[in-house]
Structure 1
Amino acid sequence: MTKILLTRHGHVDGIRPARFRGRAELELTERGLAQADALAKRIAATWKPVAVFTSPLHRCVLTGDKIAAACGIKGEIRDGLGDIDYGAWQMRTHDEVKAESPDAYQQWHAAPHLTRFPEGESLQDVVARATDVLREALLRYPEQTVVLVGHDSVNRVLLLQLLDMPLAAYWRLVQDPCTLNEIDVSAMGDVVVRRVNDTSHLDQA
């Protein structure tokens, strides 16, 4: 079995009030830095990753670097793990978008698999590129442990693929900052999801 530890970056500004953050560069807050330290400590104490792949956005690079340093390895950037491109909605608040484009906003929540953001991506686009990174991890590191540091949307679509669930189920999953998902994948492609959105390591962060 190859073990995939799928994680998310730490807390950033723009989560409250909710904004379509996407590709915007946002720094980890003090809380986010503490969360990343707690996540790194837990991973290093429990597993022995041989690789850490991160989104190119700095909030993920920094989170991944903390994990890699704790494990004595070096993080590697993978563009495929970058956050979804919200296009014209990027960094706008949900209230703003809902007021300006109520039908499109409603569709995003009712039928996410049918939504393409204006001047941006669809969930199918995210699946294609993020799954390529997962495939690389499985091919390069069989029978070993790899950490993937992504974003809320990226993690949700990867989990849906691994659970053999449709993109229409996007909103049924939650991915909190510095969460931990543990997935085992056999050489034949058999998948066992051992934990989803585990944040127990953040109790003291």
Structure 2
Amino acid sequence: MGAMTRIVLVRHGETEWNRVERFRGSADLPLNENGLRQAELLARRLLAAWKPAAVYSSPLSRAVKTAEAIAFPLKLQVKIHPGLSDINYGEWQGLTPEEVRSRWPELFECWQTIPDNLHFPGGEAMVERQKIGVAAVKEIAAAHPGETVVCVGHTVINRLIILGLLDLGFSYFWRLRQDNCALNVLECYDGLFVAVTLNETGHLLKY
């Protein structure tokens, strides 16, 4: 068996659209004050346990800012990977769940149940974004044998990546929480991924 690679997959800190519950996706939103503080606490927790060899991030600024909080103490440059970006919600982007439900009731029902066949109007298909995300993490893991690597993503792409790497179906999508600045740990052994930690948020209880 080859060397174990550890992937620490995290979600970015809070934005205003998180706070008021709007579909975010590929919209480029900054962290709010709470999100900046969450990123600091996440970095402390993560760096107390590991010394990552690299920090990768979605290109969206809320993820990049979270990644920078982790990378800066290590004197690392954040590596941008488009495969970690969140899904494009298309016409849903910026809307509240109530607004979406009133305009696309059947699609919204699909979204809230098992969204494997969902293609957002004017946006992306869930299965296609999952393929992109899973391929990204496999590529990153292969580039860092025996090392610990941080990947900063978003709620939907993180769920899709975890389900894909663990060979779990979309029926588990809503059973996997991804809170702001949550931490997930996956170990990779010769291409086989094992979940160690999912949605850890204890570091955020310190304030």
In the superposition, the TM-score normalised over structure 2's length comes to 0.95
Residues 130-184 of structure 1, C-alpha deviation per residue, up to 9 Å, x if partnerless?
A: 1221122111100100100000001001111122201232111100000000111
CA distance in 1, matches of 2:89, 2:153: 16
Instruction: Write out aligned runs for 1:28-107 (5 A).
Output: 28-107=31-110
Greater shift in the superposed pair: 146-155 or 124-133: 124-133
CA distance in 2, matches of 1:132, 1:199: 26
Q: Is 1:20 the counterpart of 2:38 in the alignment?
A: no
Query: Letter of the aligned partner of 2:96 in structure 1?
Result: T
Q: Which residue in 2 is equivalent to 1:177?
A: 180
Greater shift in the superposed pair: 100-109 or 176-185: 100-109
How many residues in Structure 1 have an aligned counterpart in Structure 2?
204
CA distance in 1, matches of 2:202, 2:11: 14
Q: Which residue in 1 is equivalent to 2:6?
A: 3
Choose which of 180, 189, 197 in structure 2 pairs with 1:186: 189
Give the SS at the match of 1:32: helix
Query: Letter of the aligned partner of 2:55 in structure 1?
Result: V
Choose which of 107, 113, 116 in structure 1 pairs with 2:116: 113
Post-superposition, which runs of at least 4 consecutive aligned residues in structure 1 deviate over 4 A?
Answer: none
CA contact (8 A) 1:41 1:70 kept: no
Q: Which residue in 2 is equivalent to 1:198?
A: 200
CA distance in 1, matches of 2:192, 2:134: 16
CA contact (8 A) 1:123 1:167 kept: no
In the superposition, the TM-score normalised over structure 1's length comes to 0.96
Query: Letter of the aligned partner of 2:138 in structure 1?
Result: R
CA contact (8 A) 2:117 2:127 kept: no
CA distance in 2, matches of 1:8, 1:69: 18
Q: Which residue in 2 is equivalent to 1:126?
A: 129
CA distance in 1, matches of 2:31, 2:5: 30
CA distance in 2, matches of 1:13, 1:179: 17
| Structure 1 segments unaligned to the other structure (5+ residues) | none
Report deviation, 1:190.
2.8
Give the SS at the match of 2:206: coil
Residues 49-87 of structure 1, C-alpha deviation per residue, up to 9 Å, x if partnerless?
A: 111110000000010011111223111111111111000
Report deviation, 1:127.
1.2
| Structure 2 segments unaligned to the other structure (5+ residues) | none
